[in-house]
Amino acid sequence: MSDRVYVGRKLGEFESSPAFEPVTKVILWYDDESSYAAGDDGGRVLELTCPWATQAMAENILASVSGFVYRPFSGTGALLDPAAELGDAVTVNGVYSMLATMDTNFDALCLSDISAPADEEVDHEYPYQSPQGRELRRKVSLEQKYYGTKISRREGLVIEKTDGDSVEARVVLNAEKLAFYDGSGQEQLYFDPAEGVYKFRGALNVNDNFIVDKLGNVVSNGSMTINGSLIMNGSANWLQTRYSTNKNASIPSQWQEAWDSAWDNTSTQVWVIYSYNGGQNWTQPMLAQGKDGAQGETGPQGSAANVPAWVKAYTDSAKFNSLVTDEWMVTMNLYGSKIFGGEYWNTDQTHRMEMGSAGRYGVFRLYNLFYGDVPYFSVSDNGLGEVEVVCTGDTVLFYDGRGTVKPKGIWDFTGVETNGLTAVFK
């Protein structure tokens, strides 16, 4: 391929015509009636045919040929470069044009008759295709059917089933439409772009366990879960709720006067009734809200309980109220009871005793809160049979668990009187 060919005066006869106007528009036909166009009508229009044309192809071609000036000519017996091919630019006898036709005589000189015809239409030669390629091209060409399947630009993919004479079923699929048609042309399953929903005409059957007929009747042989409270029965709400502050209001004939669909949040009592068949029948009233001051119904009497004696001792309300306040409760004597964890305070909250643990150590602490929240006196067990006594941060006594007590720190015996004591100092 040469792209550009120079012939000059190396030819026999030569004729030329005035140049055409520059190309300003491209029309790309993909069938007999439809095309893509790019550009304007200010100059020459280049029309081409391509079954696979797109708008982008038309714009790309225009970008390549925009402003191109076609100069018709014809020449015989040209001494042409053997590598030249249709579409190459050619300079011949001072005229710059394109090589639109070429007829070569394969003799000793291989002289060619070349031209750029002035006709409105030019038939171009197409590359050779194998039989397999031509067969495949016939099958996938636009608007061509292959066993009932057709691809068109208007409808997209179209599949038809026929009995030989008439269409029994038809499917249309494209970016905006999915539709299944019966033999009469009626849409059975389709997408409605205006409503944005898929619609189905006919009966729905799922394993014979969930069936919806054309009238909307539903048969379900399995369980059903419904999220949400709005269940409609025709035009009426199937599940209805009404409220009233009067339990004895008439039901249901006068519910419009005594029962309301709005909840009265200011009332001390609100009763509720339910209907599960659109208001035809109602349940008995049930208390839905009872605020302070509301007189509730008396429930059934409970069975006799085994009340401990220490509880019975405080059945006198006057005596009980004197022992229980908003902040304190003075308890009775406890026998054989267990108390787990906690803190024990004096009444003026200046001292507290704490029993608990620190890691694996058992700890007893006494706090004097005048000196801050630190133990004033503590006894701890290190888990090894050893006990340590600490007072205000200093260890004063250590017992090793083997019968030996070891005092620590400074012991002041001033003012101590002892009798029968033998001291051994080593």
% of the chain exceeding 90 in pLDDT: 4
My answer on whether omega of the bond before 193 falls inside 30° of 0, hence cis, is no
What mean pLDDT do residues 45-58 have?
88
Confidence of residue 308 (pLDDT cuts 50, 70, 90): low
The per-residue pLDDT for range 233-266, each reduced to its tens digit, is 665 667 778 888 777 766 655 445 567 767 766 7
Q: Which residue has better confidence, 357 or 95?
A: 95
Nearest Cα neighbor of 278 from 308, 319, 240 is 240
Confidence of residue 55 (pLDDT cuts 50, 70, 90): very high
Task: List the structure tokens of 287.
Answer: 């208390």
Confidence of residue 58 (pLDDT cuts 50, 70, 90): very high
Confidence of residue 305 (pLDDT cuts 50, 70, 90): low
- The residue type found at 391 is C
Report pLDDT for 254: 46
Q: How far apart are CA 152 and CA 291, in angstroms?
A: 73
Report pLDDT for 24: 92
- The residue type found at 126 is Y
Contact between 14 and 74 under an 8 Å Cβ cutoff? The reply is yes
Q: b/e string for 27-54 if b means 16 or more Cβ within 10 A? A: bbbbeeeebbbbbeeebeebeeeeeebe
Contact between 358 and 380 under an 8 Å Cβ cutoff? The reply is yes
What mean pLDDT do residues 143-162 have?
73
What mean pLDDT do residues 277-302 have?
70
For the chain, what is the mean pLDDT?
A: 77
Contact between 310 and 332 under an 8 Å Cβ cutoff? The reply is yes
Report pLDDT for 59: 93
Contact between 251 and 285 under an 8 Å Cβ cutoff? The reply is yes
Q: b/e string for 376-409 if b means 16 or more Cβ within 10 A? A: bebbbbeeeeebbbbeeeeeebebeeeeeeeeee
Residue 91 pLDDT greater than 60, yes or no: yes
Q: How far apart are CA 26 and CA 301, in angstroms?
A: 98
For residue 270, how many other CB atoms are within 10 A of its CB?
A: 19
Report pLDDT for 317: 57
* Angle (CA) 78 122 135, round 5°: 110
Q: How far apart are CA 35 and CA 288, in angstroms?
A: 73
User: Which residues on adjacent β-strands are paired with residue 45?
Assistant: 25
Residue 26 pLDDT greater than 90, yes or no: yes
What is the H or E stretch that residue 61 is in? Answer: helix 55-65
Report pLDDT for 1: 45
- The residue type found at 365 is R
Contacts of 143 (CB under 8 A, 6+ apart): 31, 150, 151, 152
Q: Which residue has better confidence, 185 or 210?
A: 210
Contact between 102 and 74 under an 8 Å Cβ cutoff? The reply is no
Query: Which single residue is written with the structure tokens 């608007």?
Result: 143
Is the full-model pTM beyond 0.75?
Answer: no
- What is the C-alpha end-to-end distance of the chain, expressed in Å? 123
The SS3 of residue 115 is strand
The per-residue pLDDT for range 313-371, each reduced to its tens digit, is 555 555 555 555 656 666 666 677 777 777 888 878 888 888 877 666 788 888 888 87
Query: Which single residue is written with the structure tokens 């720190």?
Result: 409
For residue 209, how many other CB atoms are within 10 A of its CB?
A: 10
